[in-house]
């Protein structure tokens, strides 16, 4: 299965809608396959996320792998190499920026995966045979790589279609920047959208409000740090989108994370179950065990420990934004994480003290029947109380 190449007369690779559309359709199909696979794998697990039906889980993965191969064959196989060629050509024309080396590495990895997929699909195996299932399983990481990262190739291929308008002149830029900074000090500069351009510059759209009149402006730089400038003003978002440099794909917090190759989640007990254990408990040890479950560390971490991990990870995300406000929020989340850590230790000590009381609930806390006994068939129902007449109030 060798994709056809159609070079232009000058030796360049023509950018056609089929290039980006094929990758986009493949990603959409893979998202559907991923959701269906997760639902099937969940059915093979118990309430804590542990696989209890190994055969059903294996069948779900085999179905996922086969569907992914079919999606690649349909949407990407005819265009993969041509798309990569167009993306590399566009990449060579971009101005220097920090992210270009990473993008080039992604394109090289996609090319290696495409070659591996092509070699595997050129070997025919009996449909449904163990050999075919093994082949599809081997190809899954390469298919997942295209589903995770082909958006970079698609975006690069689309970059050549965008022609931004010239920015404001120096005097206009100074005037609009002064107006925008004055509005920011009044609290009337409302930020609405942000992205990065191909040269690594951040662009932010904002509504500049003056005397009950709002103007859409574009800022270059960090709006919360000194040095940002207004580079344009527009009647609406559509006009701004045509005039401004096109956005490039945003980055990721961790480079090794894949949506389609997530690690198996660790078993965990939900907070609702721990609360129920306390409500249904009879001894101090029952409540103590539930509290200790909330602060348990390690592979099966409790909800309070997971909350601290969430705060730490969110703080890393805020810091990775590389903006002044992001750094401030990262510091706040770090402080909250330290408070959760202190609270976790306090809960752990209280749980141990509660367990050491060696006490049970007193017997006068009697349970109440939820279903009352029905009266016998020949029993006369009780006489209802007389209804008291109330005078009618007229208005």
Helices 17-43 + 130-159 axis angle, to 10: 140
Query: Does the pLDDT at position 390 exceed 70?
Result: no
Helix (H, G, I), strand (E, B) or coil at 350: helix
In the structure, what pLDDT confidence band is assigned to residue 11 with cuts at 50, 70 and 90?
very low
Spatial CA neighbour of 214 closest among 195, 197, 233: 233
Helix (H, G, I), strand (E, B) or coil at 127: coil
pLDDT for res 3: 40
State how beta strands 189-196 and 202-210 pair.
antiparallel
This prediction's pTM: 0.83
Q: Are 24 and 153 in contact (CB under 8 A)?
A: no
Output the six-digit token pair for 17. Answer: 């809608």
Query: For the segment 305-364, what is each residue's pLDDT rounded down to a tens digit?
Result: 999 999 999 999 999 999 999 999 999 999 999 999 999 999 999 999 999 999 999 999
Spatial CA neighbour of 15 closest among 146, 159, 164, 197: 159
CA 341 to chain centre: 26
Query: Does the pLDDT at position 77 exceed 70?
Result: yes
The one-character DSSP state at 361 is: -
Helices 271-280 + 284-294 axis angle, to 10: 170
**Whole-number Å distance between alpha carbons of 219 and 180:** 9
| Strand positions, DSSP E, 97-161 | none
Mean predicted confidence (pLDDT) in 367-380: 73
Spatial CA neighbour of 84 closest among 20, 11, 1, 9: 20
Query: For the segment 143-154, what is each residue's pLDDT rounded down to a tens digit?
Result: 999 999 999 999
Q: Are 230 and 218 in contact (CB under 8 A)?
A: yes
pLDDT for res 22: 87
Query: Does the pLDDT at position 10 exceed 70?
Result: no
In the structure, what pLDDT confidence band is assigned to residue 65 with cuts at 50, 70 and 90?
very high
Spatial CA neighbour of 82 closest among 164, 176, 157: 157
Helix (H, G, I), strand (E, B) or coil at 268: coil
Q: Are 38 and 61 in contact (CB under 8 A)?
A: no
% of the chain surpassing 70 pLDDT: 89
The chain-wide mean pLDDT, for the chain, equals: 88
Query: For the segment 232-256, what is each residue's pLDDT rounded down to a tens digit?
Result: 999 999 999 989 998 999 999 999 8
**Whole-number Å distance between alpha carbons of 244 and 221:** 14
């Amino acid at each position: 299965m060798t994709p056809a190449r159609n070079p232009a007369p000058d030796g360049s690779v023509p950018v056609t809608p089929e290039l980006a559309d094929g990758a986009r359709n493949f990603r959409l199909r893979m998202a559907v396959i991923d959701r269906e696979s997760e639902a099937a794998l969940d059915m093979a697990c118990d309430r804590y996320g542990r696989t209890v039906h190994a055969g059903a889980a294996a069948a779900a993965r085999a179905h996922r792998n086969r569907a992914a191969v079919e999606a690649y064959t349909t949407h990407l196989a005819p265009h993969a190499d041509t798309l990569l060629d167009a993306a590399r050509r566009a990449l060579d024309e971009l101005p220097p920026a920090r992210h270009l080396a990473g993008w080039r590495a992604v394109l090289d990895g996609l090319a290696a995966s495409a070659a591996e997929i092509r070699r595997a699909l050129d070997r025919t195996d009996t449909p449904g045979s163990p050999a075919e299932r093994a082949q599809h399983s081997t190809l899954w990481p390469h298919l997942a790589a295209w589903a995770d990262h082909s958006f970079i190739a698609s975006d690069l291929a689309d970059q050549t279609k965008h022609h931004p308008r010239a920015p404001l002149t120096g005097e206009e830029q100074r005037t609009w920047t002064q107006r925008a900074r004055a509005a920011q000090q009044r609290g009337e500069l409302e930020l609405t959208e942000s992205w990065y351009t191909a040269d690594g510059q951040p662009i932010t759209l904002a509504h500049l409000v003056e005397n009950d009149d709002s103007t859409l402006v574009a800022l270059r730089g960090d709006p919360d740090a000194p040095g940002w400038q207004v580079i344009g003003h527009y009647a609406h978002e559509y006009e701004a989108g045509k005039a401004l440099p096109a956005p490039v794909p945003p980055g990721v917090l961790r480079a090794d994370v894949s949506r389609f190759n997530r690690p198996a989640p660790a078993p965990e007990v939900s907070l609702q179950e721990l609360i129920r254990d306390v409500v249904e408990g009879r001894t101090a040890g029952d409540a103590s065990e539930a509290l200790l479950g909330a602060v348990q560390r390690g592979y099966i971490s409790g909800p309070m420990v997971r909350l601290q991990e969430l705060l730490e990870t969110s703080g890393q995300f805020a810091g990775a934004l590389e903006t002044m406000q992001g750094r401030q929020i990262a510091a706040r989340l770090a402080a909250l994480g330290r408070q959760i850590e202190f609270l976790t230790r306090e809960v752990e000590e209280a749980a141990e003290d509660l367990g050491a009381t060696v006490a049970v609930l007193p017997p006068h806390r009697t349970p109440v029947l939820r279903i009352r006994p029905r009266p016998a068939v020949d029993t006369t129902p009780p006489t209802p109380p007389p209804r008291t007449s109330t005078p009618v109030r007229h208005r």
